Structure 1
Amino acid sequence: MARVVFDLDGTLIDSAPGIRGIANGILREEGLPEISLAEAHSFIGHGAGAFVAQMRAARGIADSEQERLLGTLLGRYEGAVGLSQPYPGVPEALAALVAGGHVLALCTNKPEAPARLELEYLGVTGDFGVVVGGDSLAVRKPDPGPLRAVLGAMAEGPSVYVGDSEVDAETAQAAGVAFLLFTGGYRKSPVEAIPHDAAFDDFADLPALVAAHAR
């Protein structure tokens, strides 16, 4: 049995279209040009606050508007849940891991409440016993604190972290946890430039990789 901890955005779900939709609604209200899907991808990874900061910088919005726009973004998150889609094979891979006796958890920089809504939408809420979001603690990834908090709330056992980005790789390294890189997410660097124990682009491969690399 292994403790399998997942990132969310860009790993289990493609949430960029929904987040982009929220952001563009805000920008339209501000009378500013919308962001592209590529921009949305590049802004995701460090939490909602960082997303808003990068969105502001891209559209020349003053720093003084950060908290107002962040509050608006967070208030509209729930409406974007239905626009997120699981990557192909995710539900089947999660079911296979649970059937194999592994224990699942979530460590994401998305705020905790929207993250739980995404799991509910996927129909896997009961499979994730521990959920730590970007606002659950005073620190967020790549600080290892959130991942350590997740593991600390679980029974002892070999562990692996599954993510899609440089942030996830740095988090796993800092926490001393094996890292499996999903290459189809929101990474900004070539696969070979991101430290990982194994990389995959097909979730059908995940159960075997967990068995081989969890430590």
Structure 2
Amino acid sequence: MSARIVFDLDGTLIDSAPDIACVANGLLAEEGRAPLTLPETIGFIGEGAGVFVARMRAARDLPETAQDDLLARFVAAYETAHDLTRLYPGAGAALEALGAAGHRLGLCTNKPAIPARSVLAHFDLARHFGVVIGGDTLATRKPDPAPLRAALDALGGGPALYVGDSETDAATAAAADVPFLLFTRGYRKSAAADLPHAAAFDDWAALPGLVAGRLEAARLAPRATRA
């Protein structure tokens, strides 16, 4: 049985926080403000570039009137910022294995589409995904379920799974009524046990087996109900 599997990007497939911090701190230096720490940066990630910049701005006492200018400068600098970003070990191999097993893969991220596609190309990941939904692709972004549903619709029919790392991803999956697989080494702020999820993993080598197990359980469920 093949499935539609949609992935988050930052904190799930890639550790991009160092690049995000570098871009943010370049802007803050231009404004005469102190840099963000890496923990601050990670705490601000997850709800799109606009929210990140708003949190950065508030943390360094920059006026609300500076938001649009800072956001435009942030996005422009971020489009090709991937020198400090790293692919989580085993993520590429897991995508290869899932694709080889016949699953259809998509991406649903709150990162703007241009930098998302840029980093996918940098790591040669774009070839795995039949659809890429960025934070600016639709009028809404996660945790609204519309972006995840759009990604799944583009992949056709069949069972669906969503793979992510954060509170935003868990809420998105719940709103879309899609089973959520939680990568526990990402950017979540809560304990893993506090996030609703169907399964959790900290090693990408485990994901193909988790997917197979979920699909087998779904296949057998109607038989168990009839019995």
Which range, TM-score by smaller chain?
Answer: over 0.9
| Equivalent position amino acid for 1:143 in 2 | D
CA distance in 1, matches of 2:111, 2:22: 16
Correspondences of 1:193-208 after superposition (within 5 Å): 193-208=194-209
The residue aligned with 1:73 is: 74
CA distance in 2, matches of 1:139, 1:176: 18
RMSD between aligned residues: 0.9
Question: Does the 8 Å CA contact 1:160/1:213 hold for their aligned counterparts?
Answer: no
The residue aligned with 2:124 is: 123
The residue aligned with 2:112 is: 111
Per the TM alignment, residue 78 of structure 1 is displaced from its structure 2 partner at its CA by: 2.5
Decide which structure has the larger Cα Rg and report it.
2
Question: Does the 8 Å CA contact 1:82/1:121 hold for their aligned counterparts?
Answer: no
Greater alpha carbon shift after TM alignment, 121-130 vs 38-47: 121-130
TM-score with structure 2 setting the length? 0.93
Structure 2 residues not aligned, in runs of 5+:
219-227
Q: Give the share of equivalent positions with the same residue, in percent.
A: 58
CA distance in 1, matches of 2:151, 2:121: 19
| Equivalent position amino acid for 1:166 in 2 | E
Question: Does the 8 Å CA contact 2:80/2:119 hold for their aligned counterparts?
Answer: no
The residue aligned with 1:157 is: 158
CA distance in 2, matches of 1:199, 1:84: 23
Question: Does the 8 Å CA contact 2:163/2:181 hold for their aligned counterparts?
Answer: yes
Question: Does the 8 Å CA contact 2:105/2:155 hold for their aligned counterparts?
Answer: no
The residue aligned with 1:34 is: 35
CA distance in 2, matches of 1:165, 1:94: 20
Per the TM alignment, residue 138 of structure 1 is displaced from its structure 2 partner at its CA by: 0.5
The residue aligned with 2:90 is: 89
The residue aligned with 2:168 is: 167
Are residues 1:178 and 2:179 paired? yes
CA distance in 1, matches of 2:185, 2:120: 19
CA distance in 1, matches of 2:116, 2:169: 16
Per the TM alignment, residue 125 of structure 1 is displaced from its structure 2 partner at its CA by: 1.0
User: How many residues align structurally?
Assistant: 215
| Equivalent position amino acid for 1:102 in 2 | H
Per the TM alignment, residue 55 of structure 1 is displaced from its structure 2 partner at its CA by: 0.2
State the Cα deviation string for residues 75-134 of structure 1 (Å, max 9, x = none). 001331222110011111111111111111000000011111111111021111100000
TM-score with structure 1 setting the length? 0.98
User: What secondary structure sits across from 2:59 in the alignment?
Assistant: helix
Question: Does the 8 Å CA contact 1:111/1:133 hold for their aligned counterparts?
Answer: yes
The residue aligned with 1:15 is: 16
Question: Does the 8 Å CA contact 2:80/2:115 hold for their aligned counterparts?
Answer: no
